[in-house]
Amino acid sequence: MGEWGWAWAWFFTAAPLVALAVWHCTDAFYWDAFLLKPSHRGRRLPPGHMGIPLLGETPRLMWYFKVARRPDSFIEAKRRAYGGREGASIVGLTSLSNVEGKQHTRLRGCIIAAVNQPGPFWAFAQVVQPRVEAVMRSWADKGIIVAATEIRKVMFENICKTFISLDPSPLTDKMEKFFKGLIDGLMAFPLNFPGTACHHGLMCRRKLNALFREELERRMKKKNKEATAPKEEEDGDDLMSRLMETEDEQGNKLSDDEVVDIIGSLVIGAYDSTATATLWAAYHLAKSPDILARLRDETAALTRAKNNAAGACSYITYDDISKLKYTAKVAEEAIRVANFAPMIHRVALKDVEYEGYTIPKGWRVVVRLRSVHTDPMYFKDPLTFDPDRWDEPAKPGTYRAFGGGYRTCAGSMLARLQITIMLYHLSLGYEWKLLNPDARIVYFPICRPEDNAAMAFARLGTGSR
């Protein structure tokens, strides 16, 4: 056989065999490991292809998310092939180093005590509103804004102010860049060497921890000094001071490392998520004049009632929030359609039986939350922005924007409060118009309009160009 003959022979026989072996070797590896255990005899692994070595199903997922921009089709294809309505898919044997068990319960208790209570909500509403009002005035002065960027910025400033008492400054700008690097790193492929997004994310985390530690040490020194000298200016009732004082059930305070770590993770959890939901609220309100009109009626009525009672005041208190029933529905619908956390991860702590299959101990399960929120069986016309659907609560287990179980979001009430405050001030004083209402939607790393919702923004009654 000549040189070309060998090449063709290889191409038509060996190459497909190699490709087939690569395609199935991950499946074969996990099936073998599973069946080698005597206790697994007669049991079955969940069906589905586990992807190619190292990369798993990532290339396919990225194709659906980034190229085809049909994220729901990825899961839909799996549902059709393997059945199941819950949108759970098995992606392989890896495990994140999360806090677990008693340690999780202890830290979670401290976070809830510092974040999810009426006291912090009152303080939050008071502190952020002057900033929100000033920022919206500046948007109107600009006339044209890129909503995704501006909303993200104001949310970050709110969080810096309420979590660590920092006003906007070059330092907060630097911190925002670090957080962006960190979040990009979290979304990136986990390859940690210089030049990768993952490595950059880790560096950003280190720098942020150093900044928070510096602030913590400054406060500790000040506290020690105050024990012997007259009081200096107060640091204010922010999240860091609350965390420094919080005690667990045994009466132990959090360690410095824990405070620093918690602050970092709470900022990550708090600002991008809420900013994304607010962005989608603004986007859909721009496209739904009737909904915006009803929102304006409600917020204007509340302001009138407040002004009659106590002179002109455009700020709302935490107690007022419960009166804004329609606004709450708009906020909830924005959270649903934003799908900020499209999936959550769990690790099987023991063998779990599910619909006749065994999910082995140590396997990582991805629960795709977006799939329940876009399922017409649970939400009529799921892609339509319809606050009235919240006249009735969602069917149990079908609304999972904040996750579920003992890891459910610890800041859901704060998120709702922030979005409500933004909606209140937007609807009361401003009008806005999308510059590209038909802009395509990007689904990775988070769902947003391709132009980041560029819009004309003006004071109400002056007309958005």
Residue 409 CB, nearest approach to ligand HEM (Å):
3
Strand order of the sheet with strand 430-434? Answer: 144-146, 454-459, 430-434
Alpha carbon separation from 319 to 118, 163, 165 (Å, rounded): 9, 21, 23
Task: Please state, in angstroms and rounded to a whole number, the distance separating the CA atoms of residues 284 and 348.
Answer: 38
Residues 251-280 that bind ligand HEM (CB under 6 A): 266, 269-270, 273-274, 277
Work out whether strand 144-146 and strand 343-347 pair parallel, antiparallel, or are unpaired.
unpaired
Task: Please state, in angstroms and rounded to a whole number, the distance separating the CA atoms of residues 451 and 346.
Answer: 34
Alpha carbon separation from 260 to 85, 124, 244, 442 (Å, rounded): 40, 20, 10, 33
Residue 38 CB, nearest approach to ligand HEM (Å):
33
Interaction of residue 364 with ligand HEM, rule CB under 6 A: no
Residue 179 CB, nearest approach to ligand HEM (Å):
14
Q: Which is nearer to ligand HEM, 276 or 427 (CB)?
A: 276
Residue of 148, 211, 401, 453 that binds ligand HEM (CB under 6 A): 401
Interaction of residue 411 with ligand HEM, rule CB under 6 A: yes
Nearest 10 degrees: Cα torsion 214, 218, 223, 227:
130
Residue of 414, 426, 428, 446 that binds ligand HEM (CB under 6 A): 414
Residues 340-359 that bind ligand HEM (CB under 6 A): 340-341, 344
Interaction of residue 148 with ligand HEM, rule CB under 6 A: no
Residue of 50, 75, 91, 111 that binds ligand HEM (CB under 6 A): 111
Interaction of residue 403 with ligand HEM, rule CB under 6 A: yes
Q: Point out which span in 192-200, 202-210, 396-404, 437-445 binds ligand HEM (CB under 6 A).
A: 396-404
Alpha carbon separation from 337 to 320, 386, 405, 448 (Å, rounded): 25, 10, 21, 11
Does the N-terminal peptide bond of residue 190 adopt cis geometry, omega within 30 degrees of 0? no
**Other Cβ atoms within 10 Å of 99 Cβ, number:** 13
Q: Which is nearer to ligand HEM, 46 or 269 (CB)?
A: 269
Q: Which is nearer to ligand HEM, 78 or 368 (CB)?
A: 368
Task: Please state, in angstroms and rounded to a whole number, the distance separating the CA atoms of residues 458 and 465.
Answer: 8
C-alpha 160: how far from chain center: 17
Residues 205-234 that bind ligand HEM (CB under 6 A): none
Q: How many residues bind ligand HEM (CB under 6 A)?
A: 25
Q: Which is nearer to ligand HEM, 30 or 122 (CB)?
A: 122
Residues 89-108 that bind ligand HEM (CB under 6 A): 108
Residue of 75, 115, 136, 182 that binds ligand HEM (CB under 6 A): 115
Residue of 74, 318, 402, 443 that binds ligand HEM (CB under 6 A): 402
Residue of 113, 186, 197, 409 that binds ligand HEM (CB under 6 A): 409
Work out whether strand 441-442 and strand 430-434 pair parallel, antiparallel, or are unpaired.
unpaired
Q: Which is nearer to ligand HEM, 270 or 456 (CB)?
A: 270
204 annotated to a ligand binding site: no
Residue 272 CB, nearest approach to ligand HEM (Å):
9
Please, are residues 167 and 148 in contact by the beta-carbon 8 Å criterion? Answer: no
Q: Which is nearer to ligand HEM, 402 or 443 (CB)?
A: 402
Q: Is 306 helix (H, G, I), strand (E, B) or coil?
A: helix
Please, are residues 152 and 275 in contact by the beta-carbon 8 Å criterion? Answer: yes
Residue 425's H or E segment, with its range, is helix 412-429
Q: Point out which span in 16-24, 56-64, 355-363, 395-403 binds ligand HEM (CB under 6 A).
A: 395-403
Q: Residue 230, class by beta-carbon neighbours within 10 Å (0-12 exposed, 13-18 middle, 19+ buried)?
A: exposed
| Residues composing the chain | 465
Task: Please state, in angstroms and rounded to a whole number, the distance separating the CA atoms of residues 314 and 304.
Answer: 10
Query: Binding site membership for heme: which residues?
Result: 409
Query: Binding site membership: which residues?
Result: 409
What are the residues binding ligand HEM (CB under 6 A)?
Answer: 108, 111, 115, 266, 269-270, 273-274, 277, 335, 340-341, 344, 401-405, 407-411, 414-415
